[in-house]
Amino acid sequence: PRVAIVVVAAGSGTRLGADMPKAFVGLDSRTILRHALVQVAEVPDAQVIVVAPEGREGDALTDLLGALGDDRDRGSVVAGGDTRQRSVAAGLRAVWPDVEVVLIHDAARALTPAAVFARVIGAVDAGAAGVIPVVPVVDTIKRVDNEEIIGVVDRSLLSAAQTPQGFRRDVLDAAYRAADAEFTDDAALVADAGYTVATVAGDERSFKITTPADLDRARALVTRADA
Ligand code: CTP
Ligand code: MG
């Protein structure tokens, strides 16, 4: 395939506080990971790599095979590391030689519509070294120090970053080889290596399931979709 999608699912989900790794928490009868993979599987002919918590590779494979169906040959599972960046690096080592475009996606953004993947791939195909989906920041943001407001932030200049984040394969490989610090997302790591990263429209449904309230919201959306 020309495109690979690395789905990072190796986190423990500390803030969610469930009694299992976050990726395996159920939204309905299906896990967070399975929901994420159903959307990923809609991207035609892409290699799909799931980065699973160490020791839970078998459970991840069950979700992956369920989502890919007859297309199982394009899927694989690898074990993650103790930071998201290490988990991404583990996934990148499994990308097939012929792949030219790599997308990194958080399993925790389980309800990300397939159309967002298409937009990201389209922007890389159109020449971007890297591209991320963004949504406007809706809250008024304050700069606060010592519990006092010390400045205003122009909201029109702010965007919230989502995934999948897409990159030319050579760019992402080079940036990961050069990385000598922890970055909060792949776009920051790639920008630090000197590349320009573009944006496309994200989607409200791509929110990251982080807290119990996020889980409630995701479960409500899935229930409505079923009805
Ligand atoms: N992730 C990963 N490997 C890690 C840490 C995170 O693959 N060592 C993945 C998570 O599984 C998730 C995505 O990166 O899909 C975004 O991370 P986050 O939402 O922070 O998940 P957790 O790290 O699991 O949650 P928390 O920070 O609350 O522990
Ligand atoms: Mg985390």
Nearest to 123 by CA among 199, 175, 62: 199
Q: How far is the CA of 40 from the centre of ligand 1 (A)?
A: 18
Give the number of whichever ligand sits closest to the CA of residue 11.
Answer: 1
The pLDDT value recorded for residue 55 is 97
Mean pLDDT over 197-225 rounds to 95
Pocket test for ligand 1, best of 19, 33, 34, 84 (most atoms within 8 A of CB): 84
Question: For residue 224, what pLDDT band results from cuts at 50, 70 and 90?
Answer: confident
Res. 45: pLDDT tops 70:
yes
Res. 22: pLDDT tops 80:
yes
The pLDDT value recorded for residue 227 is 60
Prediction ipTM score: 0.99
Res. 225: pLDDT tops 80:
no
Res. 50: pLDDT tops 90:
yes
The pLDDT value recorded for residue 1 is 87
Least confident of 10-14, 20-24, 148-152, 206-210: 148-152
Q: Which ligand 1 atom sits nearest the alpha carbon of residue 83?
A: 8
Q: Determine how many CB atoms are found less than 10 A away from the CB of residue 196.
A: 10
Q: Residue 62 corresponds to which tokens in the numbers above?
A: 């069950």
What is the rounded CA–CA span in Å between residue 88 and residue 78?
10
Res. 85: pLDDT tops 80:
yes
Res. 223: pLDDT tops 90:
no
Ligand 1 lined by 103 (C-beta under 6 Å): no
Res. 216: pLDDT tops 70:
yes
**Residue nearest atom 8 in ligand 1 by C-alpha distance:** 83
Task: Decide the pairing of beta strands 3-8 and 47-52.
Answer: parallel
Do the Cβ atoms of 127 and 168 come closer than 8 Å? no
Walk me through the domains of the chain, giving residue ranges and CATH numbers: 3-226 (3.90.550.10)
Q: Residue 200 corresponds to which tokens in the numbers above?
A: 């496309």
Question: For all residues of the chain together, what is the average pLDDT?
Answer: 96
Q: How far is the CA of 98 from the centre of ligand 2 (A)?
A: 31
Q: How many CA atoms lie within 13 A of 85 on its CB side?
A: 18
Question: For residue 49, what pLDDT band results from cuts at 50, 70 and 90?
Answer: very high
